[in-house]
Amino acid sequence: MPGQTRLTTSHHVHVRVITMDDGKVNAMSPDMLRDLHSAFDAAEEDDTVKVVLLTSAARVFSAGFDMSVFAASPEGSLEMLQLGARMTEKILGFPKPVVTACSGHAYPMGAFLMLAADLRLGADGDYRIGMNEVAINMTLPRFAIEIARQRLTPAAFNTFLMTGEMLPPQEAAIAGFIDRVLPADGFADKALEAAIRLTEINTGCHRASKQKARATALAALREAIDAELTPNNFANAFTA
């Protein structure tokens, strides 16, 4: 809806904090994804920003793609998939460090965003993270497979993508969905402190190292997007 607030931004010691909060479950609708693209573009262009911290004010980090869009129209579905895929690409290759802080459920598109980030923090708690497409009658799109391939352990990649099992934070960290589980008490402050520490690294060296380390993953991700998320092919992205 025009004028609806879906995220907020704030600035702390060279850290741009992007907080998702649509008042519900942070569904990754086309509008939410467009807002995220704009927020990251603004952070990239702002020379005072050295690190981006992506988090959520809701009890859910993200419920994943907006299922009502899939039901509404093929055109809207394709646009949403393209925006989501390009958002993971943007984060995976972002020239500044990206930290994600998750304290609630992260269903597939939310998990994709975390899998693309540089440092993924999770609060200890009773929630789940994962890629449950096969459990809800969907086939994994190729871009999602590529973003998971470059971060999950081989065993986790070959188990949880095929079973759709969602994992609690400690198990999600072992699998590779997140890097570190922190106590829930004071989690937001701890995540910000971790992001502020990253402002001390050399941004140019970070960017150059990321380009080298992720060149293969980025190429595979872009090829998957270009091959599958087209008007002729996208119908096969989420269906058997």
Using one digit for the tens of pLDDT, what is the confidence trace for 38-87?
A: 999 999 999 999 999 999 987 899 999 999 998 888 889 999 999 999 99
pLDDT band for position 237 (cuts 50, 70, 90): low
Contact indicator for 10, 57 with CB cutoff of 8 Å: no
Integer CA distances (angstroms), 188 to 91, 107, 183, in order: 21, 20, 10
Averaged pLDDT, 130-138: 93
Between CA 203 and CA 181 the distance in angstroms is 25
CA distances to 70, 79, 83, 119, 162 from 137, in Å: 13, 21, 22, 31, 12
Mean pLDDT estimate for the chain: 94
Q: Averaged over 189-206, what is the pLDDT?
A: 97
* Helix, strand or coil, per DSSP, at residue 203: helix
Give the pTM: 0.94
Q: Which fold has domain 7-236?
A: 2-enoyl-CoA Hydratase; Chain A, domain 1 (3.90.226)
Q: pLDDT tens across 167-180, in order?
A: 999 999 999 999 99
Confidence of residue 1 (pLDDT cuts 50, 70, 90): very low
- By residue count, the chain amounts to 240
pLDDT of residue 239: 57
Q: What are the sequence ranges of the domains in the chain? A: 7-236
Whether 2 has a pLDDT exceeding 90, the answer reads: no
Segment 222-229 shows an average pLDDT of 94
**Could you tell me the pLDDT band of residue 31, with boundaries at 50, 70 and 90?**
very high
3-state secondary structure at position 60: strand
